[in-house]
Structure 1
Amino acid sequence: MSVNPFTFYRGSALTMATDLGTRPNSGLNVQLCGDAHLSNFGLFAAPDRAVIFDINDFDETLPGPFEFDVARLTTSFTLAAQNNGFSGVEIENITLAAANSYRTAIAEFAKMGELEIWYNRVDASVLSGWGRDAAGAKGAQAAKRTIAKAQKRDTWSALSKLTEVVDGGRQFINAPPVLVRISLESDVHPIIGGLLEQYRGSLIDDRRELLSRFRLLDVGHKVVGVGSVGLLAFVILLQGRDESDLLVLQVKQAVRSVLEPVTAPSEFDKQGERVVSGQRLTQAASDIFLGWIRGKQGRDFYIRQLRDMKWSPDVTLLAPAYLRAYAMICGHTLARAHARSGDAIAIDSYLGTSAKFDNAMLNFGLAYAEQVGKDFARYTDAIASGRVAVTRDEVVTANLAFAASAEYGIQAVRTPTAELAGG
């Protein structure tokens, strides 16, 4: 978060949710992503193995006013464009593209039948069209190359980087602080098995049968992204028919949404179930292994495949035309997500046919980006003065051990040898 205002923004969803909660809202509720910044969109494989583009992070999902997500998205493009050093006109055009794409897409979905909305998705052909519109044939080719990159990021690409074969068996590598292997000692193995059985119960029936054909091989602790720092996350290695039939699952802690204080408490007692339910409702197609568990100590987790053709662009490398095209794709995708759970006709009527909404989002994005810059300056000043303690990657040399209680609680425990800045 201390790198630049954009990374600070990515890690401060709670701050923005609190700010948005003080403003009047439309009262037109949808299932919000809750943290709809541009880095939480990307490519992944649908169950039919087609590569599609959609929202890919639902840690904060909760019902709420549709404009919360739109404001989060448009401001992220403002900040990304500023961080890339684009001109004022380019920044405005990119921000407007996100808002305009959302508004025009909602108008399209308002005319569609419910089934047509439900089956709608952004696939390879749609992405190529967006690329062609942005930069002609060159843009279409860039889209095809992007999809090809995503298709290479499958289970085996993850296995090649995260695992090794030892004494004839595959296991996770030990590469702290990013990945720390957890030894499956005799007292730990049955506890993990119990958690997997609970997870199996959260799956749709046919997926339960599929999971039952895999057995546990190994477990590791893996660091997660900026917005999830401080939450527990694990990886689980499973084997099916033979050593070539492998599956890697990610287990990630779920806590209460940052939106709860400004919207309403979740209808779900289990936060992992909240995340999974919101994701299934909002995405055009979801991971077949999406499920949840709760440890008896009260910690909630959701589970998904670690990598299944998942890919998001490095926006710092995008030229203005491509970032603008990306803004249009994200705006369209967010509108489709909202149309699945909300009233697209009502939202379309609220937004109207003029550019008034687009300009309002632009003005908000510019003003809020300025506020983020001020907050970031205060944050880095607090770090420099020692008022805020931070942990740097280079000093996280902790030997992470796995502690699993008889109550099925999971936690990563740092041994006394750990030297962590700021405690």
Structure 2
Amino acid sequence: MDMQMPARSGREASELEQRRLCKIASSPHAYVRGSTAQFYELIAAMPAGSLPEGPAVWICGDAHLGNLGAVAGPDGRIDIQIRDLDQTLVSNPAFDLVRLALSLVTAALNATLPGIVTARMMDAMAVGYADGILDPDHAEQDIAESEIVATTRRRALGRRWRHLSRERLKGKDARLPRGNRFFDLDPAEQAAFEALSRDPEVHRLVLALGGAEAGAEIRLLDAAYWIKGCSSLGRLRYAGLVEISGGARPHLALLDVKEAVPFLAPPAPGADMPADAAARVVAGARALSPNLGDRMVAANFQGTPVTVRELMPQDLKIDAEQFSRGEAVRVSGHLAAILGRAHGRQMSANARRSWSDTVRAPGQGADTPGWLWSAVTDLMGAHQRGYLEHCRRIAREDLAA
């Protein structure tokens, strides 16, 4: 970091927006990940009946490839679940399946895989998702395991605090490294973060996850504004480094404080959800991703609803920007099964059977339902056009600069 640069200069709204725009211009897949609002605008513009109406359940709302991965539970268990629930709400589960399919197909095109592989991926997604709905506890046991998913799980199992420290803290143990990602707080923010760290619910969460002994305490060592992700750029995002003392040996924990935002998908009619955005995210996480939901609390930061969670070294996103033909099909079926499990365990047995039949209704491919094939191919064309227009805008702004 240039030491002559003001500590908060990287937080300017215009700079964060420019960073976000450039990030989603990096590839068609990045554009799909960063254009959730456009996705739902396109869904809303489809003719009535284009998508079936599934049982009203908690959905991710933004179930793209990057939002699934290894998630550690409070008891140390590691599962592949949904990692980001910012857009969660009670709605139509078809939205999640279409969003995941669009993301996977776009990733396949990025990997220059032929169209016949895309068709087989769609078939595998329909089968995997339907199996996940019907057997939410054991569906993954009966499908071909993806090597990408298996590798992610193995890597997660071997990770410890030192790995998280090296990646996030540059090996430091008492201060968050200032630079391109971490920036100083102003006095009001610092006071608000200190108050947040003393919140009884946050205190309970950190001590429970750390396996602390009775009477243990937490002490805030450092806090900073955190530039992270894509959709969260420009919104409140903070990191806090805390020390847990009172046990045999003091140890550290890293807190992620994230602004809770309104959802973009249309809610199910009469959906019963918390009015507070942070409470809604926690409720959705507990329904869809228990490992993550049990590690989150809803709080308030200077009048803004936020979620607070402790980052675990075992939390890893799935890195699948490049894959072979066979692996593309396997990872599609595997991730769709995980999504189907998350939806299916919220449904009654009758609802599971009915929704599974709808998903398995044959269409263009051997197993792909016609509505899924049509929705994804139409969305692909619209997103490709949108991506090129976005890149042209970025190129013109660079030239103007």
TM-score (norm 2): 0.79
- Alpha carbons 1:78, 1:366 under 8 Å: kept: no
Q: Which residue of 2 aligns with 1:66?
A: 93
Q: Which residue of 2 aligns with 1:83?
A: 110
CA distance in 2, matches of 1:45, 1:88: 36
Question: What amino acid is the match of 1:358?
Answer: T
Q: Identical aligned pairs, as a percentage?
A: 20
- Alpha carbons 1:235, 1:249 under 8 Å: kept: yes
- Alpha carbons 1:163, 1:170 under 8 Å: kept: no
Q: How many angstroms does 1:38 deviate by?
A: 1.3
CA distance in 2, matches of 1:248, 1:51: 18
- Alpha carbons 1:290, 1:304 under 8 Å: kept: yes
* Structure 1 segment 372-391 matched on structure 2, within 5 A: 372-386=383-397
CA distance in 1, matches of 2:56, 2:166: 43
Q: Which residue of 2 aligns with 1:226?
A: 230
Residue of structure 2 aligned with 1:18, choices 41, 45, 59: 41
* Structure 1 segment 295-334 matched on structure 2, within 5 A: 295-297=301-303, 299-334=304-339
Residue ranges of structure 1 left out of the alignment (5+ in a row): 110-116, 391-420
CA distance in 2, matches of 1:79, 1:92: 12
Residue of structure 2 aligned with 1:281, choices 277, 287, 290: 287
Q: How many angstroms does 1:199 deviate by?
A: 6.3
Q: Which residue of 2 aligns with 1:7?
A: 30
Question: What amino acid is the match of 1:149?
Answer: R
Task: Please tell me whether residue 50 in structure 1 is matched to residue 72 in structure 2.
Answer: no
Q: Taking structure 1 as reference, are residues 285 and 120 closer, same or farther at Cα in structure 2, changes over 3 Å only?
A: farther
CA distance in 2, matches of 1:265, 1:258: 14
SS at 1:170 equivalent: coil
Higher relative contact order (Cα pairs below 8 Å, separated by 6+ residues): 2
Q: Taking structure 1 as reference, are residues 29 and 202 closer, same or farther at Cα in structure 2, changes over 3 Å only?
A: farther
SS at 1:240 equivalent: strand
Q: Taking structure 1 as reference, are residues 48 and 27 closer, same or farther at Cα in structure 2, changes over 3 Å only?
A: closer
Output one character per residue of 1:159-194: Cα deviation in whole Å (capped at 9) or x when no partner. 23433788xx711111x22223548x7x76553232
- Alpha carbons 2:286, 2:292 under 8 Å: kept: yes
Question: What amino acid is the match of 1:273?
Answer: A
Moved over 4 A (4+): 119-122, 142-145, 187-190, 201-206, 208-212, 260-266
Q: How many angstroms does 1:263 deviate by?
A: 6.6
Task: Please tell me whether residue 170 in structure 1 is matched to residue 184 in structure 2.
Answer: no
Q: Taking structure 1 as reference, are residues 42 and 263 closer, same or farther at Cα in structure 2, changes over 3 Å only?
A: farther
Output one character per residue of 1:294-326: Cα deviation in whole Å (capped at 9) or x when no partner. 1343x1111112233012232123212222211
CA distance in 2, matches of 1:68, 1:335: 12
CA distance in 2, matches of 1:18, 1:164: 40
Q: Which residue of 2 aligns with 1:414?
A: none
Task: Please tell me whether residue 293 in structure 1 is matched to residue 307 in structure 2.
Answer: no
- Alpha carbons 2:156, 2:316 under 8 Å: kept: yes
Instruction: State the Cα RMSD in Å.
Output: 3.4
Output one character per residue of 1:69-114: Cα deviation in whole Å (capped at 9) or x when no partner. 11111111111111110011011111221122112322x33xxxxx
CA distance in 2, matches of 1:315, 1:165: 27
Deviates more, 1:87-96 or 1:189-198: 189-198
Q: How many angstroms does 1:240 deviate by?
A: 1.2
Question: What amino acid is the match of 1:239?
Answer: E
CA distance in 2, matches of 1:75, 1:351: 20
* Structure 1 segment 257-276 matched on structure 2, within 5 A: 257-260=263-266, 267-276=273-282
Output one character per residue of 1:148-168: Cα deviation in whole Å (capped at 9) or x when no partner. 3213444331223433788xx
CA distance in 2, matches of 1:96, 1:288: 34
Q: Which residue of 2 aligns with 1:32?
A: 59
- Alpha carbons 1:153, 1:310 under 8 Å: kept: no
Question: What amino acid is the match of 2:368?
Answer: D
Q: How many angstroms does 1:249 deviate by?
A: 1.0
Question: What amino acid is the match of 1:225?
Answer: G
Q: How many angstroms does 1:350 deviate by?
A: 4.2
Residue of structure 2 aligned with 1:245, choices 248, 251, 254: 251
Q: Which residue of 2 aligns with 1:92?
A: 119
Q: Which residue of 2 aligns with 1:113?
A: none
Residue of structure 1 aligned with 2:240, choices 232, 236, 251: 236
- Alpha carbons 1:94, 1:320 under 8 Å: kept: no
Q: How many angstroms does 1:248 deviate by?
A: 0.7
Q: How many angstroms does 1:206 deviate by?
A: 8.3
CA distance in 2, matches of 1:71, 1:51: 26
Residue ranges of structure 2 left out of the alignment (5+ in a row): 1-23
* Structure 1 segment 205-224 matched on structure 2, within 5 A: 207=208, 213-224=217-228
- Alpha carbons 1:5, 1:79 under 8 Å: kept: yes
SS at 2:380 equivalent: helix
Q: Taking structure 1 as reference, are residues 39 and 293 closer, same or farther at Cα in structure 2, changes over 3 Å only?
A: same
- Alpha carbons 1:43, 1:309 under 8 Å: kept: yes
Number of equivalences = 363
TM-score (norm 1): 0.75
Q: How many angstroms does 1:280 deviate by?
A: 0.7
Q: Taking structure 1 as reference, are residues 47 and 130 closer, same or farther at Cα in structure 2, changes over 3 Å only?
A: farther
Deviates more, 1:201-210 or 1:91-100: 201-210
CA distance in 2, matches of 1:206, 1:239: 10
* Structure 1 segment 333-352 matched on structure 2, within 5 A: 333-343=338-348, 345-352=350-357
